Structures are given as C-alpha cells and as structure tokens.
Chain A
C-alpha cells in the first residue's frame, strides 16, 4: 500500500483586535483537514490551522512565544517553512494552496522587518533568527549575512500594510538547505496550537508516523489582516505538506488500496477542538477529496456535508473519536489533477574541481497561455557565477523576448552570497533551458564543515509565477536542492606547511652560518680526525674492554 499523507496547513492568525464581543473571540481560531487521493495510491493530508491574535501583549489562542518574538524583532510579516523530500509534480500535479505553504528543502525563512535602515534591519533579522532558532529547535541562527538575500521581484507582502509602514519594511530571505526537519521541530509547532495535539485534527500529528512520508512541509505564516474599518489583525499560517509511501511492491494503477486515518497516522482524531470555530455549512473539520465511485465509512457522531461529488466534508463531535475507512476498490479510480503552471528542475553540469555549471529546465505545460515568472537563485559566496555565461535557450527561435528582466547582486567573499533574479516569459507548451557557469572558490582551512567531502548544499531555486496584470506572485514552486562538491584539502596541511618552511629556513640558515663561522682547511690538515673515526675509536676501546672483562669472568668462577 502506498500512502501519501500530507498533514498540511497550520494557519494561525494574529489580530490586533479589540477584545470585544464574545462571538468574535470564537472566530479567533479555526482548523481543518483536507485528505486528497493522488495517483499511485498516495494520500495528501493537508492540515490548516488559523489563529487570530491581537497586537498587544495579552494573548489567548495566538501563541505568546511567537508574538513576543515578532514584537522584539519588529517583524511585521513572517514566513517560515520546514520541508523534507521532493514534491513530484509530474505525478501529483500542482501543490495545494498555490504552493504558498511549501518551502524549499530544509528551512526557508523570509520576513518583512520594520527598520530605519539596512543595518538596523540586519540587526533585527539576526534577533529574529536567533529567537526562532530557540523556539523551533532548528539551526536558524546559522542564517547569517552570507545566507541572507533581499529579493526584489519574487516576493510581495501577503498581509495588509499601510503605505507609510511599507516604506520602512525590509524584506529579508534566508535558507538552510541542509537542515533536516524532524520531530524536534514538530513538537514546538504543536505547542503553538491552542489544542496542542490533544484534541481536534492536530491529534493526528504524531512524530512517529508523520516523518515516514515521501514529502512533507510545515509552514508558519504570520501576516497582519486589516478590515476596511481600519482594524488590523496579524495572521499566521503554518503548513506541513507530507508525502509518505509504505509500499514494498509497485501495485499502483491496478487497484485503489484500502486506507484509514488510524492506519495512516497511528490514531484516530480525538474529537474536535472546542476552541475552534463552530462549524457551519461552509466551515467543516475534515474534507475528503476522492473519486465519486469510492465508498467511504466514517465513525458515528459526525455529520456529513457533501460539497461536490468528489469533495465530502465532515463535522466532528466534540468528545467522540473520528476515523475514516476506505475499502479497496478495483479498478483504480483517479480524480482529475491540474498540472502546475510550470514544471521546473535544476541540475549541476560540468566536471572538475575548478568550475561547474547549472542548468534549469523550465517547462510551461499549458497549451494556450504564456506564463511569466521570476526565477530566483540564492547562491553561497564560494560559488561564483559568471553572468556573461547566462544563456536562455528555447526551441522556438522566433521568440526572443524570453528574458524580461534580470536583477543580479554579486557575492562578496565571506560577506554575502549571490542573488540572481531573472524574469522570464515562456510561451505555451515550450521548454526553456537556463544555463550559467560558475567558479568554485577555495575555502579557508577553518571554513570547511567536519564532513567536508560530503559537499555543500545549494538552496533550491524559487520560481514565483506572476499574475500577468498585477505582476504579483500568485503561485510558487521550488526546485530541489543541489549538492556541490568543492576542492577539499588535506586537513593536516598547516603542520606540513610549518614543518616544510621551517626546514627550508633552517637549511638556508645553517649553510650560511656554517660558511661564515667555519674555518676551511685541506683534507689532510684536519686536527683530531673526523667525527666518525673518533666514534670508531671509542667503540673499539669499549669492545676491547668488554672482551677483557668477559674473558676474566670465567676465570673468577
């Protein structure tokens, strides 16, 4: 059996609401789960939690720990993603929530920080990273200036900001492609939820089963949401896409295997979270998106709301466990999948220790519409691209206006990385090849990690699909991360160098010194003979003595 579970979206909202009417209090938190069957007997489980909170210092469903961090670092909007695995777009189609909730492999963080100038923004960014690092048990504190970029075209604030505050906002973006996402990151994530995984759909989020998935992502998005009246809320959205498979043999395509929630997650849902929004006709707790022919069995005590033939939703009872069981069905059924706006893949080219190249393949699957997007690369400083080698090739020769715009900020050694943003237009059905070459820098002795021969992770490229009219990002896709091998030295080098240079210096010194202070005479004029003949004499004398002693001994006996 092959299961693709996607416990996806945790969405929290932080709102600067006046604590007023009781009804609005209840609207502060909502949660829902979407289960979607994917080709290859996979299931996508997408969790979504939304919390609202106020800007002041009194918190209820919005986590105080996070609010305090945002306040300390003057962060107005925050996006934090933890991702593991690869989303197979060819097989699974487009990601849910327009790809906004999934990040690149490892950890990705971007935020709009309020500051008067760049240096202040950097200081607050460091504060933010360090605080989040502690909160989520992740190495976010390693996002330093070399891993931070300031994207120009790729990101737009998702929340509502006043024009005055927008001027003071600085967008900073950092990635840690090497960070492994694990249970230790999930636990703090659960602690941010009001029901803490003890009730409601979050009770499915158990570290033991969750991390078996083929792909998963966990995201936290905080943004201010303003009403027309001028009241503002801060909204936080967390996602964790997760794809898991436990099939030992390729059965896919023949039958739809049976599955149930308790089989997939190891436990059923423990009732609904009493703090969540009271479900209405629109809002439901659990939705299942499967083919119409498939039958579905659910636990007692839940109400069903059929939204469409392929989307069946359920409202949970507060104190009763909830489970979904789907029996086996043959032949296999499939729901219609929509392809993503762009298929993207990226790989390293070239050979040798000195140079290399990168090739990105970007394919527009649409048959009639041109797609416009920004391709963003954030490269470490030791990977130095040659911009003149940047080439974009397409099969249709007539269309030359593929590259619309390029933003490039070169790297500074040990200070900052390269930032490359390319805006491209790909005609329908075409494939674009984006190539460039780079040089590998030689690092200092202490800059290599302990396992230097493993290679260095290169952050995934981010592709933001732009809306043709508003030029704002509507969908985002990440490529996989790359592993770059750099020339690795022999780490006993420093002592070798010390010894070698010392020897050379000592040789030079010794010969000059000897020439200066020695007196040179003919070979037959040496007084006292050479050292060897002296030693020989001593040894002979010693041996003679021994013989004499040895000879006399038996006599005394």
Chain B
C-alpha cells in the first residue's frame, strides 16, 4: 500500500505507527531514566556568543553588500537614459507649433498706391484665414529686395498690371513658373481689386492649407495644433476645414505613399499572350516623364526600371463581363471590369512585381488583355486606368493598330505615361489645384515637411510608450543617440519652418524621420530576452534555497536570543 501512496503519506503512516508503538510499548521508566541521566550543558562563554553573532553578521554583510549587488548587476538589463519628457511633448505636438509663413512678392510698377493695396489685401487675408499656422505674407517687391537674399524662399510672385479695357479683373498662372499675373480692369477700384487679389491667393493656396491642417490635426488629437494662436481663431479654423471636406482630404491623404528620399519606379508591361515583345519604354520615360522626375528631384530621387511579362494571367477572381454594343446586332461589344474587380486586379501571386531595393517601389503597369478578352474596358474611367493607393497605377491598353501587336512605339506609350505622371503626383501627394507646377511642388515640399515632422514625432511617441510598457526591454546607447539626434533635427526643422525656409525644413525633417525610425527599429531592442518566471525559479532555487535557509534560520535564532537577553536585562533591571 505504501508503494501506491506518495512518500509523504507513507512517512506519515510510518511515524504514526511508531508513535503508537512508542506509546504502548516503551515503559515510562526508560523515559525517566534518560531525563535523569541528562545534565545541563556547560555555560556558554560570552566571548563564544559574541563571536557567533559576529560570524552571522559578517555572513549577512557579505550577502547584502557583495552578493546582492553582484546578482543585480549581472542580471540587470541595460537601459540607456532617454529624454522621455521631451519625447512625450513632441508626440503630443506641444513641443513645436509648426508655422508655414508663405512670402508673396508683389510687383506693381503701374499701380498708384501699392502699399495701401497690400495693407488692405493683407487684412482681408488675415481676416479670412481660419488656420493661422499657415498664412500668407505680402511683400512689396522693390529692386533691392528682388535680389534673392537666400533667407526665405518666395512662394509666389504677384505681377499686377493693367488688363485690356472693359475686361473684369483676371489672373493667369504660368504652368512653369511661380509668377501669377493679375490684370486689373482699367477702371481701377482699390476695394474691389484688393478683394479679388485676396480671393485669388486664397483659392490658389486653399488645397495646400487644408492638407497641412489635416496633417497637423491628425497628429495632435486633443488640443488643436495651434492652441495659443491668434485669439482662438485656430481652434475654429480646424473645425471649419473639417466641415468643408474632410472626407475628400482623407481620401487624398490615404493614397499618398509614405515619404522616402528615394523611390523606385517600375514600369511593367503585362501581356496576356506572347506579344508585343518589345516597347520603347526607355525612350518614352526619358522624353515624357524625366522632366517631371527632375523637377521632383528636390523632394525625392527616383530610380527607374522596366520589364515585360508575357503570358500574364489575371487572377481567377477577376472575370470581365461581356457587354454587347447597344446598337449593332453583330459581334461588336466590349469586356468590362467591375469596380470590385479592380481591387484584386493585380495578380500578386503570379506577377513578379517585388523589388529588392531598400526604398519603396511605385509600380506602373500597362496590361494588354488577351485577344479573346479584348477590348477590356473600365466603364468608370475615361482613361481606362486606375490608381491603387500607396502602390501605383494600372492602365489597360487595348491595342488599336495592327503594329501595336508586336511593338509598342514611344508615341503609343505617350497617353499611358501622361496618366502615370498624373498618378505619380497624386501618389506623392502633390495638390491637384493650381496649374503652376512650381507652386504645386513647393506645396508638396511644405506638405512633406509637415508629414515628416508629424511622423517623426509620432515615432518618438511610440518609442516612449514602448519603453514604458516593456520594462524588460533593453535600450542600447545607440537608441539614445538617435533619439537626441531626432530631437535636435525636429527642433531645427521647426525653426526652419517658422523662418519660411521650407527646403531646409524638409532636409531636417528627413533626418529626424530617419533617426527616429533607426531608434525605433533598433535590432537589439526588437529581440527581447525570453526568460520566463518558472525558468528563473528553476535556475535560482537550487542555490538560493539550501544556502538561504541556514542563513535565515541563524539570523532568526540570533534575533530571538537578543530579544530574550534584552527582556532578561529589563526584568533584571
């Protein structure tokens, strides 16, 4: 029976049996005889007691002064000090109030009283401005100030001149410069003209303003990004903007590719059969797209490559529907793609679209359908193309001419590349509105700076929360360096923005973002030491238990003895 039971139970039974035996069999005399034999131990000398106390004390001193610190140091996780407060204030958007002062030069050689006009316009602008972080500043351009002093970039130049007789006020934007030509009607009326100037400027910069206010608002949840600004104007401003078309802006923002100093553009020709076997993409890109890429060079760089993939099939879930022509009874008709088909149009399992570059890739695809699925039409798109947010653009090309079947010429590719250029700008986040490309690119610079500022700050915030949430994560000193570099770059970017030097702000923002990402994705931080509690017990207990128990018992005994001695002395006293 004792085999089946645990050893403890067996021992209890045995000892119980012993106890019974002892009670019944051992005669009482024997117990008496032992106690009779027993004599008191020789009295302990005070020196011995003292030495014993010293021994116990010294053991404890060694354990506490050497053992515990050693254990602590060898098992501690290194956590570099981080400027947590600063990080948090950046993440909350309290550290920097981003401002976008736009300088506008006004050239008015023919106007009678330009200063006065400027004042009126400036007033009108300030009154109408509902988002004070982004504001326009007018400056009368003189010959001396026209020389670029390198301090501040000019957002636009207004050239006021007299229009033709009888015409109302009007303005013309040149697509390739920052100049805005304003023509006032010969019957010059300062009040109406100043209102016209103000409304024109507002119209031109409205989209950018909305985008930036949306960006900054999304970064700081609780207070509006400009809590202390312009007498409560700012708080209202955000609301007004959100009332206008938040949904529209959100849609635009959602398709923007995350900022990177370099992008890789891949142009792919996917054909459902073995033809066409070549295309003049190299020439087409250098002729139609390269100018745009060069213009964008200040914001991001681009690398380009291209490929042709033959026998590229659509994924099985995409089934074009046959729509016969309404008129003819013949075979005329078209295949159409539904809107749901477009989201799964890219057959990522089959199509080799992955690039191994370290920076993001934007894909542009020309798809040529098979002969038995031609023409393939997207009914909702007039250009037969669609944009995939944050990914790229697709255009379906139905070859018209017979020659297209084997060879795609540069001219045949022009419409596709024009669409891709528009899609690229949309993917990068350039505003669609003003016709002038330089102004749009300037807007893009400001937007990207704001975006970098926001994203670097939020990365810092995430790092801040991470370090607090995981006390067992180690923080190497490189993280602390990166964080301080991020903070200094952020501060610099913020200052550059206030001074209106947006190029510099972009540069600093880029650096801040890079450093913040580096800090957050630090390799040695990602891999956490997995050392569960039960392992700790398994490792420590075999040593700590047998060593700790005698130490504790000795200390306890000694304390009891001291208490007894004190009581005795008290009684004695």
Contact partners of A161 in chain B: CB under 8 A? none
Q: Which residues of B contact A531 (CB under 8 A)?
A: none
User: Given A58-B282, A273-B274, does the pair A509, B310 have CB atoms closer than 8 Å?
Assistant: no
A19 to B306, CA, bound (A): 13
Task: Enumerate chain B residues within 8 angstroms of A134, measured Cβ to Cβ.
Answer: 354, 356
**Inside 8 A of A507's CB, which chain B residues have their CB?**
546
Whether the pair B546, A536 counts as a contact (CB closer than 8 A) is: no
Q: Which of A515-532 contact B (CB under 8 A)?
A: 516-517, 519, 521-522, 524-527
With a cutoff of 8 Å between Cβ atoms, the chain B residues found around residue A194 in the complex are 274, 310-311
User: Which positions in A face B, CB cutoff 8 Å?
Assistant: 19, 22, 25-26, 56-61, 63-65, 68-69, 72, 131, 134, 191, 194-196, 198-199, 273-275, 495, 498-499, 502-503, 505-507, 509-510, 513-514, 516-517, 519, 521-522, 524-527, 535-536, 539-540, 543
The residue on A at minimum CB distance from B31 is A533
Would you call B22 an interface residue if the criterion is a C-beta within 8 Å of the partner chain's C-beta atoms? yes
A-B contact pairs, 5 of them (CB 8 A): A63-B307, A498-B538, A498-B539, A502-B542, A527-B40
Per-position 1/0 for B295-315, Cβ under 8 A of A: 000000001111110110000
Contacts of A525 in B (CB 8 A): 38-42
Decide if B274 touches A199 in the complex (CB within 8 Å). yes
In the assembled complex, the CB of A464 is this many whole angstroms from the nearest CB of chain B, namely 32
Residue of B nearest to A520 (CB): B41
B542 (CB) vs chain A CBs: closest residue = A502
A519 pairs with B23, CB closer than 8 A: no
Fill in one digit per residue for B38-69: 1 if any A CB lies within 8 Å of its CB, else 0. Answer: 11111010001000100110010000000000
- Assembly CA distance A80 to B546 (angstroms): 60
With A513-B550, A540-B22 known as contacts, the answer to whether A19 contacts B278 (CB < 8 A) is yes
Interface of A is mostly: helix
B565 within 8 A of A: no
- Cross-chain contact of A514 among B278, B308, B538, B550 (Cβ < 8 A): B550
Whether a CB of chain A sits under 8 angstroms from the CB of B173 is no
Task: Report the minimal beta-carbon distance from B322 to chain A, rounded to whole angstroms.
Answer: 23
Q: Is the CB–CB distance between B56 and A503 below 8 Å?
A: no
Q: Check B48 against A506 for contact (C-beta < 8 Å).
A: no
Kindly state whether residue B83 has any CB partner on chain A within 8 Å.
no
4 tightest A-B CB contacts, nearest first: A506-B546, A502-B542, A57-B305, A64-B307
Per the bound structure, the CA–CA distance linking A241 and B325 in Å amounts to 53
Interface string of B200-222 (1 = CB under 8 A from A): 00000000000000000000000
A499/B59 in contact, CB under 8 A? no
B570 within 8 A of A: no
Residues of B contacting A495 with CB < 8 Å? Answer: 538-539
Q: A513-B554, A539-B19, A543-B19 are in contact. Are A68 and B305 (CB under 8 A)?
A: yes
- B524 contacts A by Cβ under 8 Å: no
Residue among B48, B52, B356 with the highest chain A CB neighbour number at 10 A = B356
Nearest CB to that of B551 among chain A residues?
A513
Q: Could you say which residues of chain A place their CB within 8 Å of the CB of B306?
A: 57-59, 64
How distant is the Cα of A505 from the Cα of B273 in the complex, in angstroms?
78
- Cα distance, A224 to B356, chains bound together (Å): 22
**In contact, B550 and A198 (Cβ under 8 angstroms):** no
Residues of chain B within 8 A (CB-CB) of A273 are: 274
User: Is the Cβ of B277 less than 8 Å from the Cβ of A506?
Assistant: no
A60 to B308, CA, bound (A): 5
CB-CB nearest in chain A for B557: A517
In the complex, which of the residues B59, B282, B352 contacts A63, with contact meaning CB atoms closer than 8 Å? B352
Q: A503 — nearest CB in chain B belongs to which residue? A: B542
CB atoms of A517 and B554 under 8 A apart: yes
Contact with A along B246-273 (1 / 0, CB 8 A): 0000000000000000000010000001
Partner-A contacts on B (CB < 8 A): 15-16, 18-20, 22-23, 37-42, 44, 48, 52, 55-56, 59, 266, 273-275, 277-278, 281-282, 303-308, 310-311, 350, 352, 354-357, 407, 538-539, 542-543, 545-547, 550-551, 554
**CB-nearest residue of chain B relative to A272?**
B274
- Give the shortest distance, in Å, between B562 (CB) and chain A (any CB): 14
Asked if B543 and A506 make an inter-chain contact with CB atoms under 8 angstroms apart, the answer reads yes
Residues of B within 8 A of A56 (CB): 282
List of B residues within 8 angstroms of A65 by Cβ: 352, 354
**A195, B550: Cβ atoms under 8 Å?**
no
The answer to whether A57 and B542 touch across the interface, beta carbons within 8 angstroms, is no
Question: Given A57-B305, A524-B38, A540-B19: A517 and B310 within 8 A (CB)?
Answer: no
**The residue from B52, B278, B539 contacting A519, defined by CB atoms under 8 A apart:** B52
New A-B contacts (4) at CB < 8 Å, excluding given A56-B282, A68-B305: A19-B278, A63-B352, A502-B542, A539-B15
> Which residue of B23, B41, B278 contacts A527 across the interface (Cβ within 8 Å)?
B41
Contact B277 A540 (CB under 8 A): no
Q: Are B304 and A274 in contact (CB under 8 A)?
A: no
Q: Which of A25, A502, A522 has the most CB of B within 10 A?
A: A502
Given B37, B275, B277, B542, which contacts A524 in the complex, CB threshold below 8 Å?
B37
Query: Nearest Cβ distance between residue A451 and chain B, in whole angstroms?
Result: 22
B16 adjacent to A510 (CB under 8 Å): no
State the Cβ distance, B8 to closest chain A Cβ, in Å: 14
Q: Is the CB of A506 within 8 A of B282?
A: no
Name the CB-closest residue of A to B44.
Answer: A519
User: Which of B38, B278, B307 sits near A25, CB closer than 8 Å?
Assistant: B278
**Which residues from B are CB-within-8-Å of A540?**
19, 22-23
- Contact between B554 and A506, CB atoms less than 8 A apart: no
Contact present for B277 and A64 (CB under 8 Å): no
Supposing A519-B44, A543-B23 touch, asked if A59 and B37 sit within 8 A by C-beta, the answer is: no
A521 to B38, CA, bound (A): 12
B19, B48, B55 — which one has the most chain A CB atoms within 10 A of its CB? B19
Find chain A residues with CB under 8 A from B303 CB: 57
Q: Are A64 and B352 in contact (CB under 8 A)?
A: yes
Q: In the complex where A499-B542, A516-B55 touch, is A60 in contact with B278 (Cβ < 8 A)?
A: yes
Chain B CB within 10 A, most for which of A57, A273, A505, A543: A57
Assembled-state Cα–Cα distance A516/B547 (Å): 14
| Structural contact, B23 and A502, CB atoms closer than 8 A | no
Given contacts A19-B282, A25-B278, A198-B311, contact A502 B41 (CB under 8 A): no
Which B residues lie within 8 Å of A498 (CB)?
Answer: 538-539, 542
Minimum CB–CB distance from B350 to chain A (whole Å) comes to 8
B276: nearest residue on chain A (CB-CB)? A60
Assess the A195–B310 pair: CB atoms within 8 A.
yes
| Given A60-B307, A502-B542, A526 contacting B356 (CB threshold 8 A) | no
Query: For the complex, what is the distance from the CA of A392 to the CA of B53, rounded to whole Å?
Result: 76
In the complex, chain A residues whose CB is within 8 Å of the CB of B40: 525, 527
| A58 pairs with B310, CB closer than 8 A | no
Chain B residue numbers with a CB within 8 Å of A59 are 305-308
Known contacts A60-B308, A63-B352; A502 and B16 CB within 8 A of each other: no
Bound-state Cα–Cα, A180 to B282, Å: 41
CB distance from A538 to the nearest CB of B (A): 9
**Complex contacts, A505 vs chain B, CB 8 Å:** 543, 547
Closest CB in chain B relative to A534 CB, distance in Å: 12
> What residues on A are CB-neighbors of B308 within 8 Å?
59-61
A275–B304 CA distance with the chains assembled, in angstroms: 25
> Which of B40, B48, B310, B545 has the most chain A CB atoms inside 10 A of its CB?
B310
Q: What is the CA–CA distance of A543 and B266 in the complex, to the nearest angstrom?
A: 91
B542 touches A506 (CB 8 A): yes
- Chain A residues near B41 (CB-CB < 8 A): 521-522, 525-527
Q: Shortest beta-carbon distance, B128 to chain A, in Å?
A: 49
Q: A499-B542, A540-B23 are in contact. Are A131 and B42 (CB under 8 A)?
A: no
| Contact status A536-B22, CB under 8 Å | yes
A513 and B355 in contact, given A58-B305, A64-B307, A536-B22 (Cβ under 8 angstroms): no
Q: How far is the CB of A35 from chain B (nearest CB, A)?
A: 24
For B546, the chain A residues whose CB sits under 8 A away are: 502-503, 506-507, 509-510
List the A side residues contacting B277 at CB < 8 Å.
Answer: 25-26, 60-61, 275
- Which A residue's beta carbon lies closest to that of B266? A64
Looking at the assembled complex, report how far the CB atom of A280 sits from the nearest CB atom of chain B, in whole angstroms.
19
Shortest beta-carbon distance, B19 to chain A, in Å?
A: 4
A275 touches B42 (CB 8 A): no
Within the assembled complex, what's the spacing in Å between the Cα atoms of A525 and B277?
Answer: 109
